[in-house]
Structures are given as structure tokens and as C-alpha cells.
Structure 1
Amino acid sequence: MWAGDGAALAQPPLPRFDVQIAPPDIAPWIEGNTGVPGFSSFIGPEPGPHVAVVALMHGNEVSGAMVLDRLLRARLRPRRGRLTLGFANLAAFARFDPEHPTASRFVDEDLNRLWDASVLDGPRQSSELDRARLMRPLIDTVDVLLDLHSMLWPSDPLTLSGPTEKGRALAQAIGVTGLVVADAGHVSGRRLIDYGRFASPATHEVAALVEAGQHWVPETVEVALACVAGLLRHVGMATDHPALPPRRPARASRYAEVTQAVTAATAGFAFVQSFRGGDIIPRRNTLIALDGTAEIRTPHDDCLLVMPSLRPSRGHTAVRLARFIQ
């Protein structure tokens, strides 16, 4: 669905989000075996890369945690290389309350906006910065990383590759979501997939981020699990382990590049209608939102709306606008 020109609608009250899945008990995995609480590594009998799958970068995105808990309880072990499964923001997850599920995204600040050397090495302090600094030496040994996320607002699943060709290749090899989006991240800070060793075109280390679906619904858990299975099969770590879903039929991923990341400049940012992630606006210059008095219009025909946030806070990404690439 898309809207033509017109005045932005007044924002309705924030809807109630039902939690349809039970958060996992990750107490058995808190100690880990890596020196970083919540992170466990396993070594295969044959040489290979160090692959990490990370969940709970945001403490209320429990679908990824459910996947890792399932794999750990099933004693999944790699056939080659080193496999690390990690729960990132333990402090925020400990606060998760199904009655108020949006309140535990982080404690002090977004853990997925801190992955810049100048920030990690700087003087600032927070719960999340302490955690990122603790995780960093382990992350510095990882060759291939998959970061599991979910979304607050309705959207088709997608994989974010970052701007590099190696990221795009990894995302397409994992498959599953059917849409790969290349973007440069957020003005508010670098994501884990934007960390230097993964984001530099000059290195072989690579990362991708899966947005597996909407928060707190069973389908999102299954998409995230299928993405992990796709990754492990791609790198030759696992094939038919009972904890992994059957291999999905191969499908060609559509590829889109973000042409504009729209950051809310005012507290009055409002879309002209309730867009869904994956909506395509056919015509250039179509009004899609008002940011105070500033009009937000599509910069090109067939404009893909990537993860529109229907209640964006000032200074945060409201939507990414993308163009499909052959």
C-alpha cells in the first residue's frame, strides 16, 4: 500500500504488542566457556573459520535467544572450525517483561550503535559500553558473524549486508529471507556488522544482520533458525543435525541498495499512513511523511521502504529508502 500527496496523519496511540512466545531460560548458558559471560565456543575436529552467531543485541528481541537456546540444548557441535553462540545484552534481557515488552531494548544506550573504535576506546561509560568492551576481544577473533534481530513494526524478513560485496555474498549465501539490503547503518552509531574488521573491503572477515520478522511471534523464531542453518551449511559446519530445520529450496534473493536513510529531526515525525516494511512506492516524489513541517518524499520510482518505524524518536532512523539492483 502507498499514499499519494496529502497531510500527515496524527499519530495514534502506541498499540499493545502481544508476546506470543515465551522467553527462554538462558541461565545454563550465562557462564559460557570463553571468559565472556553468555558466550560459548565449540571446536570442530577439522580446521575451519571462526563463526559466531549473536542474539540479544537488544534485550527484548527474544527470538534469536530462543534459537541459540535450542541449539545449545541440542548440543550442536561444528564439523569444522570454531562455532561461538552468544547472548549479548544480558542486563537488558534480565529486565524483559512480557507486559511491557518494548521497555528492555537496552539499559543505558543501544548496544548496536557502539561498534566504532573511537567509541570503544573513548572515555564514555555505560552498561552497554562495558558489555561491548568485554565482548570486543572475542569479536576480534571472528571470521564470519551472523547477528540475529527482529522488528517492532510489521515487515517482511530481510538480511542487511552492509555496503561491501563480501557482505552481500554472505547474505545471499544464507538465503531464507528473499531480500538482501545494503546500507551504511545509522547516524546514531555503528552496528556490530559495521565494526572495522567486518566492514572494511580490505579484510576477509564478514558479517550480516538478519531481521527475521516481527518481535514476539513464532514465525520469526523459525525464520531466524533457518538463517542459522543456512549459514552453518554455507560454511560447512553442519548439515543435517536434528536441531536444524530441513534445507529450504534454493531461492534467488532480491537485492536493494539504500539511497537515503531518513532520520527523524523532530518529535513530530509522522508517516502519512501505516506503511509496512517491504512496501514499494511506484512514483518518485511521492509524499510519505512529514517531519515537523519538512516533507519526506520518495527520491526515485519503485522506492522500497526498509523497516519504517511508525513512532520514531528524534535522532533515530525513521525509514530507509532503497532501490532494487539487478
Structure 2
Amino acid sequence: MPSEPLSPALAAIAAGQTPGVAARLDVRIAAPDIRPHLGGNLLPGVWSFTASAPGPHLVIVAVMHGNEIGGAVVLDRWLRAGFRPSRGRLTLVFGNLDAYARFDPNDPTASRFVDEDLNRVWDVETLEGGRRSSELRRARLLRPVFESADVLLDLHSMLWPSDPLILVGRSPRAAALGLALGQPGLVVADDGHLGGRRLIDFAAFTAPESRRSAILLEAGSHWEAGTVATMERTAARLLRHCGMVCPGDTVLVPEGPKPGPGRLVEVTRTVTARTAGFAFIRPFRGGHVVPERNTLLALDGEEEVRTPHDDCVLVMPSLRTSPGHTAVRLARFVGAKP
């Protein structure tokens, strides 16, 4: 418990009230009609195109969560425009079709999944076990596609305000790929979630003997045009990085100025809410750097949450969370200070 009486602002926070904090639920983009794409040419909702010239197999995944519709906008545009790789194989995957079909702009957070989170089932025991759900049926169907990928990009967006970032788990190969892209500039090495393994944590991509890499893009706020633009720029840059784009291509967004090198941070602590009263002292934005160690960030009931080190990067703070869920990840820069 704090040693001094709480200020009125902190008292409100301790009571579970964070003034001025509200999730942004305005849907500023339209969910595309993907019915023309549902048949696929490989699996339902999965399109794969192989060039005559050899090259890597790149898989790009959208709507792993049914309400994160920005990736569907990108894949829909590319498919309608007839984009094809110049070498290798490109596979475009609409992930959680059942959840996406339920998306309602009047209740945009309700269609994240049907039965369980499709991005928490990617371990062999779960995939091969006896549990049944809409998401596990889809995961089991998609598993061979993902296991055949050399490189995978999983497109996501965020509910709370944050700078874009790339999540790479603990794979050195994925971290190197994220840093090489340089767009977005923040690359986060983390341990994932207690609730289950993400696709980027799947053994096909993380086994030491594997040469495969998977990265997860958190492109910005849900339902914003800028988030869609970030997804498309990053996906196009990855295609170019893999050497899969013809010089005269007119479908992808222009390459633009070459971004600077990315910065790698590693998560040192994952803060999980223990009480229903968890609240930050102010509405932090993801990517914010707190200069000093031991700075107060939040109250979880009577427990204080403070920065464990100097130059502490706040990774995707969830400004309203419930017990047992991740509230924020705290990270430090790897290498020289920015």
C-alpha cells in the first residue's frame, strides 16, 4: 500500500476509474465483402500463387481476429487487382472466417472470435488434442499451409492507442527479419501470453533447427485508414525484401524512402491484472518510454506497478483490463540507447 495518502486522481484510479480513458470504437473503414474470395484456390479463404522462378514461400495472414478487418482490406485489394509474385510462392490467408462473418460495425469488439482466440492455439498438444471449437477446426485446416511457409506475416491491429510495432516472440530469426524491414521501427521480443501460443510462437517457426520466420505486425488502432496503410506498406516491403516483386509492379504501394534500421526491445516483465480495479495513473500510449526506474505506472488494487529499469518501453498497454489478462508489457532496449 502507498505510504502517503492518495491524491484525488490516484484515489479514483484505485477505485477502478481512469479519467478520460475510453476505447475508440468508431469504425472508419468498411469491412470488405470477401465472399468472392471464400472458395480459395487452395483451401476455403486461402489463395496461393506460384511464380515460374524459384523463391521463398511467403504467407500473409489477415483477420486472425474477426474484428481486425484492416488486413482483409489489404488482401481483398490485392486479390481484386490480380497481384502475382515474380518469384517463389505467395499465399494469402483470411484467418477466422466465421468470426469475420459476424463483424458488426455497431458492436465492433464482439467478433474477435467465436469460441476461443484463434491466436492462442498454436501448440502441437492443443492442435492434436481432443478439444473442439470453431477456431480449432480452422487452425487444424490451416496448419499444413503455415508449416510450408518460409516466411509468415500475421496482420493485426490494436484497440488502445499505440505506435505500430512488430512482435517476434523469442526467435532470433524473426527479430533479424523485423529489424531488416525497419518498418515499423519498433521490434519487440516477448514471451507471448499465458493463455496460449500465438502463431508466431508455433514450433514450425521457433524450433532451433528451423530456418522459417514468422512476425506479427500490430499496425495501429482498429478500424482506421492509417492502420490499413501501415499494413499494406509493411506487407509490400516484406514482398520486396523477399525479392518477390517485379520492377514494374503497379499494384503494390510505392516503396517510398528507405526506413532507418529498426530498434529491438525485449520484454522484461509482463504485467497481468490481478484485480478488477487495475488502472494506470494516466492513459499511456503504446511505445511510450519512461526514463526513470521505479516510476509509478498503475495500481492493481493495493499493489503498485512501477518501472523495473530506466528507459522502460510500454508495449501495448490495455487501459481497461480484467483479472488474468495482460495489462502491459515492460521492455528495455537491446543495444545502445535510442
Aligned 1:81-230 pairs, distance under 5 A: 81-230=88-237
Q: In 2, are the aligned partners of 1:254 and 1:324 still within 8 Å (CA)?
A: yes
- Structure with larger Rg: 2
Structure 1 match to 2:254: 246
Cα deviations across residues 185-217 of structure 1 (Å, max 9, x unaligned)?
Answer: 111111000000112232101100111111111
Provide the rounded CA distance (Å) in 1 between the counterparts of 2:255 and 2:11.
47
What TM-score do the two structures reach when normalised by structure 2?
Answer: 0.92
Unaligned runs of 5+ in 2: 1-6
Residue identity in the other structure for 1:30? L
Q: Report how far residue 272 of structure 1 moved.
A: 1.2
Moved over 6 A (4+): none
Please name the residue that 1:266 is paired with: 275
Matching residue of 1:71: 78
1:281 corresponds to: 290
Task: Identify which range, 200-209 or 289-298, moves more after superposition.
Answer: 289-298
Other structure's SS at 1:159 match = strand
Using the aligned pairs only, state the percent identity: 60
Structure 1: distance between partners of 2:313 and 2:209: 30
1:29 is matched with which residue? 37
Structure 2 CA distance, aligned partners of 1:162 and 1:27? Answer: 33
SS at match of 1:64: helix
Shifted more, 238-247 versus 205-214: the winner is 238-247
Supply the RMSD in Å over aligned alpha carbons. 1.6
> Unaligned stretches of 5+ in structure 1?
none
- Deviations, residues 259-284 of structure 1 (Å, cap 9, x unaligned): 11111222222111111001111111
Name the SS for the 1:58 alignment partner. coil
Aligned ranges for residues 44-83 of structure 1 at < 5 Å?
44-83=51-90
Q: C-alpha displacement at 1:256, in angstroms?
A: 0.8
Structure 2 vs 1, CA of residues 49 and 323 (structure 1 numbering), >3 Å: closer, same or farther? same
Aligned to 1:324: 333
TM-score, length of structure 1 as denominator length: 0.95
Amino acid in structure 1 at the alignment position of 2:301: G
Question: Aligned residue pairs: how many?
Answer: 322
Secondary structure of 1:208's partner? strand
Call closer, same or farther: CA 1:289–1:8 in 2, change over 3 Å: farther
Q: Is 1:293 paired with 2:308?
A: no
